[in-house]
C-alpha cells in the first residue's frame, strides 16, 4: 500500500499467469480516486523475473478491446503488446503495466464514435476534438505509482510515445533507454499512425516490413543519432534528454 497523488494504492491480488511466452505473475492494483465519477482505478502488472536490480524492460500498455479481442487492423495495439511480452520473455525479466484506458482514455463507445468520424474522412485527433476530448486523455500517474510500489527505480521503456517517458521521469523513475516498440503499418492503420507521428509526436518510422517485430524492436539507431547510440543503450538517459533527440 502506498499513498499516491490521488489516493491509496492497493495490491488486490497476486497470481500465476501462464502465457504462450512463459509463466508470468499477474498483480492486480487498485487506487482510490476522488473525481466523483468512479471510486477506484485499476491496472494489472504482468511481471517476469526479479525487477529491483538494474533496469528491467517496461511496457505501459492501454487496453484495446478492438485490437486485442476482435483482431482489428485499424491500430497497432495488439502487435505492440505481443512484441513487448515476447521481448520480456526473451530477456527473462520485465513487466507490462496494463491500464484500462481504451481509446487513449475516452472509452470504448466514444472510440467507436471516433472511428465513425474517421470513416467520414477526418483523422484520429480531429475525431477526438469533434467529440469534445483532448488528443490523448490518458494519465500515466498510476503506472508510476505501481513502479514505486514494486521498488523499481530505473527502467528501459518500450514505447514510441515520448509522453510516457516524461511522465515517468517527472514521477522520479529513471529512463535508462527508450526502446522502439513499432509494428509495421497495414493499409488500415497507416493513416492513424501517420497522425500519431505528425500530430502527437510519436517516434515512428512507418516502414512496411513483413518482419516488423524483429526489425523495429531494439532499433535504437532509428531514434538516436549514430553518435549517441552507445549512450542510449548503455544508460544514463533521462526522459528530458531522450525527448531532445526526437
Identify the active-site residue in 138, 149, 156, 178. Answer: 138
Q: Residue 218 CB: number of other CB atoms within 10 A? A: 16
Identify the active-site residue in 136, 149, 156, 178. Answer: 136
pLDDT, one tens digit for every residue, the chain (246 residues):
443 345 789 999 999 999 999 999 999 999 987 655 566 799 999 999 999 888 999 999 999 999 999 999 999 999 999 999 999 999 999 999 999 999 999 999 999 999 999 999 999 999 999 999 999 999 899 999 999 999 999 999 999 999 999 999 999 999 999 999 999 999 999 999 999 999 999 999 988 655 444 334 443 333 323 333 333 333 333 333 333 222
Give the model's pLDDT for residue 9. 92
Tell me the domains of the chain and their CATH numbers: 51-101+138-244 (3.40.50.10990)
Q: H helices within 32-76, ranges in order?
A: 65-68
Sheet holding 40-48, edge to edge: 2-3, 8-19, 22-32, 40-48, 94-99, 57-62, 154-158, 174-179
Give the model's pLDDT for residue 98. 97
Beta-sheet pairing, 8-19 with 22-32: antiparallel
Residue 228 appears among annotated catalytic residues = no
Q: Give per-residue burial for 13-42: e unless 16+ CB within 10 Å, then b.
A: eeeeeeeebeebebbebbbebeeeeeeebe
158 Cβ contact list (under 8 Å, min separation 6): 57, 58, 59, 80, 83, 84, 87, 179, 180, 181, 217
Beta bridge partners of 58: 95, 157
Give the helix/strand (H/E) hosting 99. Answer: strand 94-99
Give the model's pLDDT for residue 35. 56
Residue 136 appears among annotated catalytic residues = yes
d(CA 28, CA 244): 35
d(CA 95, CA 52): 12
Per-residue pLDDT tens digits for 33-45: 765 556 679 999 9
Amino acid at each position: 500500500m502506498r499513498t499516491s497523488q490521488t489516493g491509496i494504492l492497493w495490491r488486490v491480488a497476486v497470481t500465476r499467469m501462464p502465457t504462450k511466452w512463459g509463466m508470468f505473475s499477474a498483480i492486480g492494483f487498485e487506487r482510490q480516486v476522488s473525481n466523483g465519477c468512479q471510486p477506484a482505478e485499476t491496472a494489472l502488472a504482468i511481471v517476469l523475473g526479479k525487477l529491483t536490480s538494474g533496469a528491467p524492460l517496461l511496457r505501459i500498455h492501454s487496453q484495446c478491446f478492438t485490437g486485442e479481442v476482435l483482431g482489428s487492423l485499424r491500430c497497432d495495439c495488439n502487435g505492440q503488446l505481443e512484441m513487448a511480452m515476447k521481448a520480456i520473455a526473451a530477456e527473462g525479466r520485465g513487466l507490462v503495466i496494463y491500464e484500462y484506458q481504451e481509446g487513449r482514455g475516452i472509452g470504448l463507445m466514444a472510440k467507436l464514435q471516433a472511428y465513425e468520424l474517421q470513416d467520414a474522412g477526418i483523422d484520429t485527433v480531429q475525431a477526438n476534438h469533434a467529440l469534445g476530448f483532448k488528443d490523448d486523455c490518458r494519465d500515466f500517474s498510476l503506472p508510476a505509482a505501481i513502479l514505486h510500489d514494486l521498488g523499481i527505480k530505473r527502467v528501459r521503456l518500450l514505447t514510441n510515445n515520448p509522453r510516457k517517458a516524461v511522465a515517468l521521469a517527472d514521477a522520479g523513475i529513471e529512463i535508462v533507454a527508450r526502446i522502439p516498440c513499432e509494428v509495421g503499418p497495414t493499409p488500415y492503420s497507416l493513416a492513424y499512425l501517420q497522425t500519431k507521428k505528425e500530430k502527437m509526436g510519436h517516434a515512428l518510422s512507418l516502414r512496411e516490413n513483413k518482419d516488423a517485430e524483429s526489425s523495429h524492436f531494439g532499433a535504437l539507431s532509428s531514434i538516436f543519432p549514430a553518435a549517441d547510440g552507445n549512450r542510449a543503450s548503455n544508460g544514463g538517459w533521462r526522459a528530458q534528454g531522450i525527448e531532445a533527440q526526437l
